[in-house]
């Protein structure tokens, strides 16, 4: 589990996490559903978790396997949660815990639309307890994962559970799916009016349909996609000037403002946090 940016895709970099005392396991062959990535994490060194959650263009589900809850600290103060789901833009949030062992699932907006069971719009700006969203299903899944003895068994159980939840799910509209794909492909550098016109839609229609099915407005989605690329570049050692240019910001000041708003720190501080965690 990355210290400052939740992303199940990091299971592909076990060496770095091993140095930090984390055991990381990915599902052999990958998830069966498109837009789903998952990994198992265990705090092998018992160092404890204190992680800032950064906004990103994905919905993240964390299913705890231990008895002790994690503490989610957000705008409403600290809350004890064993399992939870973080929306695309959860606001300033930190997660703390001891002896953390969990399965983490990273959902693209397309996958989240099929799996959540509610409109993503209802989760905007929040971290929600998984039991509140999925009820007894979430509790039964957590119990089965805790009883499993290997990471592959746990991840396979999670994969099967998610596949069953998609059965009969209403698909995302082709126009909204295409709009999202365009935003991602262009790394957030799109004009919403031009995007709407490409489907023969008004700006207002795209805004409404997109927000209902993705969970944020098209403009906010573009900001998140662009910020995600910038955050990764900064955490990989890129300097602010080069990152601003490569990620489509008007200038370094524009990058500074976005990072300050979304991460609560400066670009240099964000890069420094990644260095101290790695």
Q: Which of 33-42, 86-95, 218-227 has the lowest mean pLDDT?
A: 86-95
Q: Which of 3-12, 52-61, 125-134, 225-234 has the lowest mean pLDDT?
A: 3-12
Q: What pLDDT does residue 162 have?
A: 94
Q: Where are the beta strands (DSSP E) in 75-211?
A: 77-81, 83-86, 93-97, 101-107, 127-129
The total number of residues shown for the chain amounts to: 278
Q: Could you give the dihedral angle defined by the CA atoms of residues 18, 128, 180 and 108, in that order, rounded to the nearest 10 degrees? A: 40
Output the CATH code of domain 174-277.
1.10.10.60
Neighbour-count burial of 44, counting CB atoms closer than 10 A to its CB (0-12 exposed, 13-18 middle, 19+ buried): middle
pLDDT tens, residue by residue, 133-185: 899 999 999 999 999 999 999 999 999 999 999 887 888 999 999 999 999 99
Instruction: Evaluate whether 113 touches 213 at the Cβ level (below 8 Å).
Output: yes
User: What is the reported pTM?
Assistant: 0.85
pLDDT tens, residue by residue, 75-84: 778 999 989 9
Q: What pLDDT does residue 17 have?
A: 54
Structure tokens at 158: 């999670």
Please tell me the distance from the alpha carbon of residue 237 to that of residue 272, in angstroms, as a whole number.
9
pLDDT tens, residue by residue, 9-64: 444 444 445 556 889 999 999 999 999 999 999 988 888 888 888 888 899 999 99
Q: What pLDDT does residue 74 have?
A: 79
Neighbour-count burial of 270, counting CB atoms closer than 10 A to its CB (0-12 exposed, 13-18 middle, 19+ buried): buried
What mean pLDDT comes out for the span 217-241? 92
Please tell me the distance from the alpha carbon of residue 224 to that of residue 56, in angstroms, as a whole number.
6
Calculate the average pLDDT of the chain. Answer: 86
Q: Which fold has domain 8-165?
A: Jelly Rolls (2.60.120)
**So where are the chain's domains?**
8-165, 174-277
Please tell me the distance from the alpha carbon of residue 6 to that of residue 167, in angstroms, as a whole number.
27
């Amino acid at each position: 589990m990355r210290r400052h940016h939740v992303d199940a895709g990091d299971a592909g970099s076990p060496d770095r996490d091993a140095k930090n005392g984390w055991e990381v396991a990915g599902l052999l062959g990958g998830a069966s559903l498109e837009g789903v990535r998952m990994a198992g994490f265990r705090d092998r060194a018992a160092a404890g978790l204190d992680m800032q959650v950064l906004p990103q263009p994905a919905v993240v589900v964390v299913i705890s396997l231990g008895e002790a809850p994690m503490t989610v600290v957000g705008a409403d103060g600290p809350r004890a949660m064993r399992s939870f789901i973080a929306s695309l833009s959860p606001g300033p949030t930190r997660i703390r815990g001891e002896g953390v062992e969990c399965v983490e699932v990273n959902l693209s907006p397309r996958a989240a639309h099929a799996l959540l069971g509610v409109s993503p719009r209802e989760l905007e700006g929040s971290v929600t307890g998984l039991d509140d969203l999925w009820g007894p299903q979430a509790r039964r899944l957590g119990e089965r994962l805790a009883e499993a003895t290997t990471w592959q068994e746990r991840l396979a159980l999670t994969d099967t559970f998610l596949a069953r939840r998609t059965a009969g799910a209403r698909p995302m509209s082709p126009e909204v799916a295409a709009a999202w794909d365009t935003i991602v492909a262009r790394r957030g550098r799109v004009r919403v009016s031009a995007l709407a016109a490409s489907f023969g839609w008004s700006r207002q229609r795209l805004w409404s349909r997109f927000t209902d099915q993705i969970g944020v407005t098209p403009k906010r989605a573009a900001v998140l996609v662009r910020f995600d690329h910038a955050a990764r570049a900064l955490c990989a050692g890129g300097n602010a000037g080069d990152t601003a240019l490569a990620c489509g910001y008007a200038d370094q000041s524009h990058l500074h403002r976005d990072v300050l708003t979304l991460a609560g720190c400066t670009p240099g501080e964000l890069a420094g946090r990644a260095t101290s965690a790695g």
